[in-house]
Amino acid sequence: MTAERDETIKWRSLIIPIYGPTILISIGMGAVVPLIALSALDLGATVAQAAVVVGLIGMGQLAGDLPAGALAQRFGEKPVLLAACLVEAAAMLVASRTDSLAVLSIAVFVSGLASAVFGLARHAYLSEAVAAHFRARALSTLGGTFRIGSFIGPFVGALLVEQFSIGATYAFAACMSLAGGLLSLTLPSLPGVAPVSPADTAERPPGLWSVLARHRRVLLTLGVGVLLISAARATRQSIVPLWAESQGLDASTVSVIFGISAGVDMLLFYPGGAIMDRFGRMWVALPAMIVLGAGFLLLPLTSSAVAIGLVACLMGLGNGISSGIVLTLGADVAPDEGRRQFLGGWRLCADLGNVTGPGLISLITLAFPLGAAAIALGAIAWFGAGWLARWVPAYAPSPAEERVTAG
């Protein structure tokens, strides 16, 4: 009982240095992301080119995942967090001032790189700072703060565009990144972890590729599971508005549907973490994928705003309760030696799902109607549920096993 109390106090001491920067930066990026395509169009891009520019955020995250692990291993989480915030702020300032499509594209890509580094450093820090019996709640809260910021951001962006300009929104995002970097300076050092010194060459840390090769089995099994989770989440955000538009709903109605669904999503991040800590990771991973799959399969049966809204809320339920599952599973299976490099590979699996998931919609709809794409995605989500049912118990310890190990 005392240990739980002490660990809870320790976790609360991280609210400002860990969760504060996350919510600030996600508000800033949430304000910017809906406007990137418009910025590209204003600079002379075609619709296809504008879509590519938006996709450069995800490409930057993919490119940055593995180097992020190496950087965190080399310099430690605190300097890397600060550097990522400064780089992202610089990219947003450049985007706010440029009149070149190429420069905007580079800035968006660099922002994705910085986001990967920032996300890896937070993940690695919390994986070590918080005890296993409280890990899921801590990491689900991290996912929840990102959701809250992403929900608030677009409203702030709309206000700034109305009062000033799109450039002012990028400048606002830069200020949020700088504020996040300043808050990161308050991050306490991990107990028992000495700072890395360039002069320390007697015991060289394991290399990135050796760590990934050593743990390739978990990346090719459980890692595929998190890829499927990420793909289901990302396609949910794409297919619901596409289906709503195909049924004749206007943009304002779609926005209301998304807002309500996001509200359901945000309410469930902490309960999801509590369930994982108390009962085990399977009690969230499996229901979340089943619910998301059901939402995909039900979507082609809807035509009215109410029906589409109800399905969107169902999918928001599945997405919200799974907040932090990818981070938590990664922390569960990360090795003590080479933890940061391993988490870089782990996050690469998740980001591959984020990028390839929406691409499946485009690929399927080349030959089939949108409803067929929804059915295919539902089948993939349910396949993912079966895959997770096979591999989560093999790697993620149950709460009873954690208590025995701690004892």
pLDDT along the chain (407 residues), means of 10: 42 79 90 84 81 84 90 87 94 92 94 92 86 84 85 85 88 94 84 51 67 90 94 86 84 77 83 88 93 95 92 91 90 87 91 85 85 93 95 75 48
Q: Classify residue 406: in a domain, yes or no.
A: yes
Whether residue 135 contacts residue 125, with contact meaning beta carbons closer than 8 Å, is answered with no
Residue 81 belongs to what domain range?
A: 16-187
Identify the pLDDT of residue 7: 45
Q: What is the CATH number of the domain that holds 309?
A: 1.20.1250.20
Nearest-angstrom CA–CA distance, 82 and 181: 5
Identify the pLDDT of residue 86: 95
Identify the pLDDT of residue 1: 34
Nearest-angstrom CA–CA distance, 117 and 127: 15
Q: Token pair of 189, please?
A: 């050092």
Considering the entire predicted model, what is its pTM? 0.84
Residue 82 sits in the same domain as residue 33 = yes
Residue 151 sits in the same domain as residue 226 = no
Identify the pLDDT of residue 406: 44
Residue 98 CB neighbours (<10 A): 18
Nearest-angstrom CA–CA distance, 160 and 149: 16
Residue 183 sits in the same domain as residue 259 = no
Region for residue 375 given its phi and psi (left: phi exceeds 0; alpha: psi -120 to 50; beta: otherwise): alpha
Residue 344 sits in the same domain as residue 278 = yes
Domain boundary among 155, 187, 219: 187
Identify the pLDDT of residue 383: 96
Q: Classify residue 193: in a domain, yes or no.
A: no
Residue 160 sits in the same domain as residue 308 = no
Nearest-angstrom CA–CA distance, 338 and 233: 29
H or E segment to which residue 21 belongs: helix 20-42
Domain boundary among 125, 152, 187: 187
What φ, ψ does residue 45 adopt, rounded to 5°?
Answer: -75, 150
Identify the pLDDT of residue 402: 52
Residue 224 sits in the same domain as residue 165 = no
Whether residue 142 contacts residue 327, with contact meaning beta carbons closer than 8 Å, is answered with yes
Residue 33 CB neighbours (<10 A): 18
Identify the pLDDT of residue 395: 82
Coil, strand or helix at 366:
coil
Identify the pLDDT of residue 144: 85
Nearest-angstrom CA–CA distance, 339 and 329: 13
Give, in order, the Cα–Cα distances in Å from 209 to each of 128, 212, 223, 255.
22, 5, 16, 44
Q: How many domains does the chain have?
A: 2
Q: Classify residue 195: in a domain, yes or no.
A: no
